[in-house]
Structure 1
Amino acid sequence: MAEDAQAGLPPEAEAGALADRLKERIYATITMIAVVVGLSESDAGPTGAAATVLTTSLALWLATVVADQEAHRTVHRRRATGRELRRMLYVSSPLLSCAVGPAVMIALAALGALSLDTALLIAAVVGIVPLFLWGCVGGLSMGAGTVGALLAGVVDAVIGVAVAPVKNAAGH
């Protein structure tokens, strides 16, 4: 929440901004899982894989910022500036940071520390773990208890994994 205050968001917007930011993080995580799974089925080398991961992340972020700004202009009849713009950028920033893990793993493959296939597999698994953890935290915060939280985590991880091939099949 301190980050929201630093972003210049009013206190009443903090929970909403955090929820929106987490939503973007989850979407970005699922998208990156799909990207690395798709790359593992391609002939891309480390350079091509890194370019794909980074451009996907940048394109997602730019599309989100453009869509947010267009929606704001349409609804409010003016561009978002100041606090509104800072909130948009704060909420959408996970779309950029989601590329860090896969990019690091691909860089390790480029340096010869591991194969690209292994790097991409690790990147996919590293993406699945937070989905599980967010599901657990969500379950606990709703009072589901330990078993319910673990079940929620498993369901969220399975959904994230299941969405990846669907996104790849659809060309996303």
Structure 2
Amino acid sequence: MTRGQVPEDQEDPRAAQPSGPDASVLADRLKERIYATITMIAVVVGLSFSDAGATGAFATVLTTAFGLWLAALVADQQAHRTVHRHLATGRELRRMLYVSSPLLSCAVGPAVMIGLAALDALSLSAALLTAAGIGVVSLFAWGCAGGLRLGGGVLLALLAGLLDAAIGVAVALVKASAGH
């Protein structure tokens, strides 16, 4: 057997890697999704204590998501230019856009909830707090998924999910206390 080969009776650890996009691309994309979710939780909790109205809340959510995305894209392009001595184009630019796209999609849930409030299906405050709750639940789900991927079983997965959800709640509490 040569160096780097895996004996036939042992499983190749690389076989567990996801197919399709590179695992580091998927990890970077998930990092952006989680970062955007935590940020949006803070934004909607802050808005729930304001008198922004549905139009103002909608505009704030959209501009926050767009601002996050644009800042990430500018930072990625600047870092790429500094390290590689050229602008990212082609495949490199598509990777940046793919990785940063969750920063835009984080506005969908809150925008839908604000739209429901604008249609008088529920109060704006309830819509914003529901959007924050959905964000916390998504953090819990990602934590559980990560815990399961670690292979520690359901208990570890639930613990990881609760820890991630607690971080989301902590962000919301900090935002609520800082704003008032």
TM-score, with structure 2 as normaliser:
0.85
Correspondence for 2:99 among 69, 91, 96: 91
Question: Which of residues 107, 112, 127 in structure 2 aligns to 1:119?
Answer: 127
Q: Distance in 1 between matches of 2:178 and 2:82?
A: 29
The count of corresponding residues between Structure 1 and Structure 2 is 161
State the match for 1:34 in structure 2. Answer: 42
Residue 78 to residue 169, structure 1, CA distance change in 2 (3 Å): farther
Is the radius of gyration larger for structure 1 or structure 2?
Answer: 2
Which of 159, 166, 179 matches 1:158? Answer: 166
For 1:3-18, list aligned pairs within 5 A. 14-18=22-26
* Structure 1 segments unaligned to the other structure (5+ residues): 1-10
Runs (4+) of structure 1 exceeding 3 A deviation are: 164-171
Deviation at 1:14, TM superposition (A): 1.5
- Residue 36 of structure 2 contacts residue 106 of structure 2 at CA under 8 Å; is this kept in 1? yes
- Deviation of the 1:168 alpha carbon: 6.5
CA gap 1:12/1:137 in 2 versus in 1, 3 angstroms: closer
Superposed CA deviations along residues 63-113 of structure 1, whole A, max 9, x for unmatched, are 000000000000000000000000000000000000000000001100111
- Supply the distance in 2 between the matched residues of 1:156 and 1:61 (Cα, whole angstroms): 22
Residue 166 (structure 1) shift: 3.6
Range that drifts further, 89-98 or 138-147: 138-147
The alpha-carbon deviation at position 62 of structure 1 amounts to: 0.3
Matches within 5 A, 1:124-139: 124-139=132-147
**Which has more helix, going by share of residues?**
1
Q: Aligned-pair RMSD on alpha carbons?
A: 1.7
11-20 vs 76-85, greater mean Cα deviation: 11-20
Pick from 132, 138, 142: which aligns with 2:150? 142
- Structure 1 residues 110-130: Cα deviation after superposition (integer angstroms, max 9, x where no partner): 011111011011101111111
Percent identical among aligned pairs is: 75
Is the contact made by 1:31 and 1:164 (CA closer than 8 Å) also made in structure 2? no
Q: Does structure 2 conserve the Cα–Cα contact (< 8 Å) formed by 1:30 and 1:161?
A: no
Q: Is structure 2 residue 118 aligned with structure 1 residue 110?
A: yes
Which stretches in structure 2 are left out of the alignment for 5+ residues?
A: 1-18
The one-letter amino acid paired with 2:118 is A
Residue 148 (structure 1) shift: 1.1
Q: Does 1:55 align with 2:63?
A: yes
**TM-score, scaled relative to structure 1:** 0.89
* CA distance, structure 1, for counterparts of residue 176 and residue 94 of structure 2: 32
